[in-house]
Every structure is written in C-alpha cells, then in structure tokens.
Amino acid sequence: MSQNKPKLLIIEDDPGLQKQLRWSFDAYDVVVADDRESALAQIRRHEPAVVTMDLGLPPDPDGSTEGLATLQQILALAPETRVIVLTGNQDRANAVKAIAMGAYDFHQKPPEPEVLNLVIQRAFFLHNLQEENRRMQNGQADSPMAGVISRDPGMLKLCRSIEKVAPTSASVMLLGESGTGKEVLARAVHAISPRAKERFVAINCAAIPENLLESELFGYEKGAFTGAAKQTKGKVELAHGGTFFLDEVGDLPMALQAKLLRFLQERVIERIGGHEEIPVDVRIVCATHQKLKELCSTGRFREDLYYRLSEIVVTIPPLRNRQGDAALLAHHFKNKFCAQESRPTLHFSPDAIAAIEGYAWPGNVREMENCVKRAVIMADGPTIVADDLGLPEGDTPVEEPLNLRQVRDEAEQGAIVKALARADGNIVKASEMLGISRPTMYDLMNRHGIKSGT
C-alpha cells in the first residue's frame, strides 16, 4: 500500500519524537533520518516532495548550524522539495533565517499533530500544483513545437527549421519512413502559420482508388457523372485559406499530377463537369515515404511537379536514429494510455526499458504507440515488464566516430539524454543513474544544450 502514498521525510535525531511523528502521519509513506548524511541519502533515494526537519541535528543538537547546512544541501539537491522546519520557542530567528534560505514553512516544537498535518497537506498540494504546471510548460518547451515529443538534437534542429518555414507561403515536402510522424509535423506547420485559424485538410493519395481521387481532390458539378446528384466541393477547395496536406503524394496517378501542377502554377481549379475556374488560396504540405527523385528518374513522377512541391524539403529521421527518444516516447504513451484506459499509473521495469531501447522500431513512432498501448492493457500489476511489450531482442549497429574528443562528447551527451529518458525527465533520478550531483547534471545539460524534461 505504501507505494501509493506520498513520500514524507522526517529528519529528527530524537527516537521518541521520530516514533511519534511516524505514528501521527500514517497517511504518508514516512521515511526517517537522524543526521545530515542520512537525510541527504534519503533525499536521493526517495525524492520526497515534503520534508519536516529539526534544526538541532548532531553534531550540533543544541544549535542550528548543522540543521541550516542540511537545509542548504537539500535545496541544492532538490530545489522543488518543500521543507518544514521544526524549531523551539526561543529559536524564531533561526526559523526566519531558514525561510530566507528557501524553507517552505516553520512549526514550533513540540509539534501539534493536527496543525502540522494541515501544514504538510498544504505543502503537498502546492508541490503537486507546481509539478503539474512544470509538466505542462516543459511538455511544450522540450520541443520547439507542441505535439512533437523529442530530446534528440537532430529532431529538435528539424523542428526549429520548420518554425522558420511555417510563417512563409513556401510548399513543404516531408520525407521519412512510415510512422515517423509526418502528419504530426504537417499539422505543426499549419498550427504555427498565419493560416492556423483556417482549416487543415488532409487526403491520403494511396488510400483512395484512382477513379475517385480526382473528384475527392477537385470536386464535381451536379450531373457530371452517374450518381453526381449535387454540386460537391473537393478537398482542395475546402482548404481555401488554410493548409492542404497531400499524404503519400508519391502514389498520385500521372494524370492527376498534371492537374495538380496546373493548380500549383495558376492557383485555380475546375470541378469535374464544370467550366468555371475557381481561385483557391491554400498552403501545400505533402509527405511520402518514397524516394521521389528516383521516381522522377524512372518517369513515374513528374519532375516539374516535384520541384513545385519541394520548395522546402524536410527529412524526418527514423526512431532508431533519434537519441533517447524511444524511452521518452514510451513514457509519454504509457501515461497517455493509462489515462485513456482508466488504469492506475504504471511503471516500466528496467528490463522493459532495456527492451525498448534495444529494439530497432521498424514501424517507428506508430509501432511504438501500438506496442505501449497493448502493454498498458495487458500488464497484470503496477509494472510493465518486457514480456508485456512482446518485442524481439535486437540491436542496430552504429558506426562509431574515431575522433577522441567527438567520441567523449557524444558519449557524454548520449548518456545524459538516455538517463533523462529512462528517468522520465526526473533530474534527481537521472543524476543518480549517472553518479553525479544535481548541480553537475545541470552544468552538463547546459554545456550540451539539453533542456530539462517533464
């Protein structure tokens, strides 16, 4: 049961008072410490949101120097922790000093359990509120664009390039393997463009039969063909003022390629069976997993259309090449589907994380999403284990650079990104994994340009 209770650390060197406080706060998972060293060890191990602390700690039980030094180290190690200082009647000056150093509140000894319990409840509430706010902010700040979840430097650089392109009218071509998130990026282009308030209309050229695709794109007039009972606008016309997304554009038939090219040149369309030219103002974003230049060389795709569509080309890396993103996305989808399926919060076991990071993910982010959803549904207990994922063991060999400084920097950056991903963005956990202090962790993250996670 204790794993569902909030962690409360009590720092007190009096065994009798320790026992009394532990008994008074059975609503929490209470851990105790009786000196500075054990207190810092408990902070690293349990990451309690709230701490109660006696300022009189050994070797200075009658003074406050050791208590204030412990407070300073706790706040340096875990700045978000709410520390409630317990002081004697004659120690108000040191209590005020502790508040100035960053303590959350103070309470006089001997403690009144009911009053102290209210202070602790308020501290937990404030901590949870600020944590939720931080998660919401970092969920957007981690990536240049909302909806794109990544800490991979290459992916973040790609997102910043899209940020520069989005305000323009240039056509954008998104290239990448199936499942890499081309439509997510297409929607991001629309969302941060001046056209964001208008419609985003998408069509998959590979999913619609050739004989229906033209009417889907350009619409038709009443009586244009059997079954055309009324005038119908096409997807291009419906996107007027907004963004039109052509997915799998490499599958567009040659006849429609010519008609699409004319639209891109003239910015007018004609419905099937109609004779009126209709001006349409849309931003074109297209995507494909195929190599369009090769299709052009074999005559399966018009070269002039290719150049019209590819004013800006963005190549999305596969998930296996995105540093640390496998674990990061796994945590994201796990949290998403726990909420969606009304399941208590689940956690990945170490072997599950190892399996996620060792798998090549040929289906990319889409495969990851489906895999984690299945694992959330199938997990028996509070932990997702490797068997729940159903992944084969595997690894993707990577050619290593030979420059020593480059190897060292890349290894350092990779270790930090991987630790943050495994710890689901928790700085303290990631620092423990790497065997470094929290300030050192922040220094290294600043050096490598890595933003803090959620």
Percent of the chain with pLDDT over 70: 92
Q: Where in the chain is the domain with CATH 1.10.8.60?
A: 324-389
Peptide bond into 392 cis (omega under 30): no
User: Domain 167-315 adopts which CATH fold?
Assistant: Rossmann fold (3.40.50)
What's the rounded Cα separation, in Å, for the pair 71 and 49?
Answer: 14
What is the DSSP track for 204-261? ETTTS-HHHHHHHHHEE-TTSSTT--S-EE-HHHHTTTSEEEEETGGG--HHHHHHHH
Query: Which pLDDT value is given to residue 27?
Result: 85
Query: Which pLDDT value is given to residue 396?
Result: 37
Q: Where in the chain is the domain with CATH 3.40.50.2300?
A: 7-139
Query: Which pLDDT value is given to residue 141?
Result: 44
What's the rounded Cα separation, in Å, for the pair 222 and 415?
Answer: 63
Query: Which pLDDT value is given to residue 454?
Result: 38
In CATH, what class is 324-389?
A: mainly alpha
SS3 content of the chain, % helix, strand, coil (to 5): 50, 15, 35
Query: Which pLDDT value is given to residue 399?
Result: 43
Closest CA to 217 of 188, 184, 257: 257
Query: Which pLDDT value is given to residue 310?
Result: 93
Q: Is 158 helix (H, G, I), strand (E, B) or coil?
A: helix
Q: How would CATH label the architecture of 7-139? A: 3-Layer(aba) Sandwich (3.40)
Q: Give residue-wise pLDDT tens across range 18-50.
A: 888 888 888 889 999 999 999 999 998 888 999
What's the rounded Cα separation, in Å, for the pair 103 and 7?
Answer: 18
Closest CA to 136 of 430, 377, 335: 335
* pTM as predicted: 0.59
Residues of the chain with pLDDT under 70: 1-3, 89-90, 132-147, 393-406, 452-454
Q: Where in the chain is the domain with CATH 1.10.10?
A: 404-448
In CATH, what class is 404-448?
A: mainly alpha
Query: Which pLDDT value is given to residue 219?
Result: 92
Q: Give residue-wise pLDDT tens across range 372-420.
A: 999 999 988 888 988 999 887 654 334 444 466 667 778 888 888 888 8
Task: Say which residues have a Cβ less than 8 Å from residue 231's Cβ, sequence separation at least 6.
Answer: 219, 220, 221, 222, 271
Closest CA to 166 of 142, 197, 196: 196
